[in-house]
Chains A and B, each alone.
Chain A
Amino acid sequence: MVSGKSRRPIKARGSRKVRARGVWSIGDRVGLTIAWATGIFLCLVAFSVTIYLALKGVQYLNLDILISRPEAGTEQSETGGILDPMIGTLLLTILGTAIAAPIGVGIAIWLTEYGRPSLLARFVEAGIEMLVGAPSIALAIFGLLIFQNSFMAPFSFTAEGGAVFGRSFFAAGAIMSLIALPFVVGGTREALNSIPKHVREASYALGKDQASTIRRVLLPSARSGIATGTTLGMAQIIGETAVVVVLLGASLQLAPEGAIPVLDVLKGTGSTLTSYVYQNSPAGEGKAPEKAYAAAFVLLLIVIALNLFVNQISKRGRHTWG
């Protein structure tokens, strides 16, 4: 009886054919068809965006563009490359992450490990959520409001009459950190929450206090969560445009301000890949769509790389607690 023939896998039933007998109403079938269509639609959008940009990128991107600085020009061939925007993206990402990571981790620790008074903790949670929802353009003009104050003069260019320009890598980086912050908090909290109670209790049993338990036991265990959150935050910074357009000034090249190396660049204005794409698209002034395509492709590559990286660390960092 248990011959090879009768040992058929369940999947091989001919039930699909029978299904047509009206158990599935028209509405059910339409619904299922729409579900399939939307799923395939998502894949199609992703692939067409990627393939289109890849084709354009291969067409217009070359080493020359990567290593030359952007220039003002009337012809597309005269507009130079994307070296400065790439450096700008790098600087802004480092700056924003450097501010967001410690603050974000701190907030996450407070929320998960202390969280007293609990009402305040709930409000902080809501606040973080609002930060995610806050429009970046509004954050940007608020940033301008702050950095145009005279006491913020050290962070940007000051005009003859004492008016503070308010636009610089510092200013943009500070606001960018707010955009990355919720992601750092989220990643860290998730990691801390996944550490079971007994790990903490084991540490207390050894006579460690809460602060050192956090530093010696919890934070090392939450490393991959922190890394995931920070990387997601980085991706947000790299992809953000409105803050750059408002707070980094309109110069395509890095425009250092002052005499101290490094600090002068941070105090000055510049551009990033996103603002470069914007300025060079028909919506901006550059009208160099080929360069915009090249920069957009580079941007997409970075985003894909970061995505893969996040997948890797979250895969590797997945603890299984006893």
Chain B
Amino acid sequence: MSSLTYEATGIPVESEEADPVNRRVELLLGALASSVLLFIAGMILFTLFKAWPSFAANGLAWFGAGGNVDAQLTDIFNSPADPADYIYKLRAWPLIWSTILISALSVLLATFIAVFSSIFIVHFAPGPLQKLIEPVVKYLAAVPSVVYGLIGILVLVPWINSTFITEEMRSSVAYVIQLDGSSVMAGVMILTVMILPIMIALIVDSLRAVPLNWREGALALGVNKWRAVRTVSVRAIRPAIVAAAVLATARALGEAIMLAMVTGSIGFAPNPFDGFLFFMEPSRPLAPSILDGEEGLSVVPFGETMYAFGFILIVSCVFFSFSGWAIRQSLGRYSIGAR
């Protein structure tokens, strides 16, 4: 960390004043860097400004449940042209619930897989497999989300439809929704694969940074290798695991394309009390909702509603990224390449 505030030890202060070029370069670059902050602040503020009518018209009920959210969106889209008659009524809970549900499930699943696979990569994979698996993780991170989405919609969704969904399940919910395989399950499965590489990269890095003498100390006590890794290494990197999960949450919340393709794009709040069926139900998180409504952005009240979705997303993603960053800072390690 200290290297970032590298002080130009070679330059006495006087010479800096005597050297306007250097000073100007510093100011210019500083301004450039600060513009990133301005941009983020501007983005949050302008989006809030644009979204305000939607929040103002609904109050806190905006976040609540009530009615069919898709029907409400259609009404908003079909608002009369007169600004005085704009319709704003929205109860966005199904979309929010879907966002929370899909992100949380995939982050939980991904954390579990990432911790175990990182342990495997760092400590247990035989040489050749280790050489293979690290590029594989990098590669998985590089596959575009639309490719995952395409495979999801053409392979995974039909597979779920034919494997898991029975006729009874279909008829039991036929009065509200149609089950066709586009589901929470498909979204969670693919989203897990998509956020795994970020988490693995971070966790592998911190596992490697655990001092060898801790592990040797445990082994020398007659503890087997798995226990030594679990009770010393994994224990020591718990904050890094949390940071990885938090950063992955930001990614999961913001994923639009893939989820728009595989979750069925229906503003329905899957009901956990439906049992296993719950995973088969379609839904639509916030990010894909914006993507779906993209063509209606020019309809003023509808656009404002979309910006309201966008605002919620930005604020939560910025919050999660910042927390993840802060946790990693407190670890005293910073490596953007590890992403």
Query: In the complex, A287→B148 CA distance in Å?
Result: 17
Chain A residues with a Cβ closer than 8 Å to the other chain, count: 103
B235 contacts A by Cβ under 8 Å: no
**B224 contacts which of A24, A103, A116, A144 (Cβ < 8 Å)?**
A24
Determine if B226 and A32 form an interchain contact, defined as CB atoms under 8 angstroms apart: yes
Contacts of A120 in B (CB 8 A): 30, 33-34
Determine if B143 and A300 form an interchain contact, defined as CB atoms under 8 angstroms apart: yes
Query: In the complex, A29→B295 CA distance in Å?
Result: 54
Query: In the complex, A213→B334 CA distance in Å?
Result: 25
B273 contacts A by Cβ under 8 Å: no
Query: In the complex, A109→B30 CA distance in Å?
Result: 9
B119 contacts A by Cβ under 8 Å: yes
Interface residues of A in 112-132 (CB under 8 A from B): 112-116, 118, 120-121, 123-132
B324 contacts A by Cβ under 8 Å: yes
Contacts of A133 in B (CB 8 A): 247, 250-251, 254, 317-318, 320-322, 324
Contacts of B43 in A (CB 8 A): 134, 138-139, 142
Contacts of A103 in B (CB 8 A): 32
Determine if A278 and B149 form an interchain contact, defined as CB atoms under 8 angstroms apart: yes
Query: In the complex, A211→B10 CA distance in Å?
Result: 12
Known: A111-B4, A126-B322. A211 touches B147 (CB 8 A): no
Determine if A112 and B3 form an interchain contact, defined as CB atoms under 8 angstroms apart: yes
B221 contacts A by Cβ under 8 Å: no
Determine if A109 and B29 form an interchain contact, defined as CB atoms under 8 angstroms apart: yes
B120 contacts A by Cβ under 8 Å: yes
Query: In the complex, A233→B124 CA distance in Å?
Result: 32
Chain A 144-159 near chain B by CB (<8 Å), digits 1 or 0: 1100000000000000
Q: Is the interface of B mostly helix, strand, loop or mixed?
A: helix
Interface residues of A in 220-247 (CB under 8 A from B): 228, 235, 238-242, 245-246
Task: Return the 10 tightest CB-CB contacts between A and B, nearest first.
Answer: A135-B254, A204-B10, A133-B321, A186-B336, A239-B144, A133-B250, A110-B29, A39-B120, A38-B117, A35-B120
* A contact set with B: CB distance below 8 Å: 19, 23-24, 28, 31-32, 34-39, 41-43, 45-46, 49-50, 52-53, 103, 106-107, 109-116, 118, 120-121, 123-139, 141-142, 144-145, 178, 181-183, 185-187, 189-190, 193, 197, 200-201, 203-205, 209-211, 214, 228, 235, 238-242, 245-246, 250, 274, 277-278, 281-283, 289, 292-293, 296, 299-300, 303-304, 306-307, 311
30 intermolecular pairs with C-beta atoms under 8 Å apart: A28-B227, A42-B200, A43-B129, A43-B133, A49-B147, A52-B155, A110-B33, A112-B4, A114-B26, A114-B30, A116-B26, A116-B30, A120-B34, A126-B325, A127-B36, A128-B336, A135-B255, A138-B287, A141-B294, A141-B310, A190-B337, A214-B25, A238-B144, A277-B146, A283-B260, A296-B150, A300-B144, A303-B143, A307-B139, A311-B135
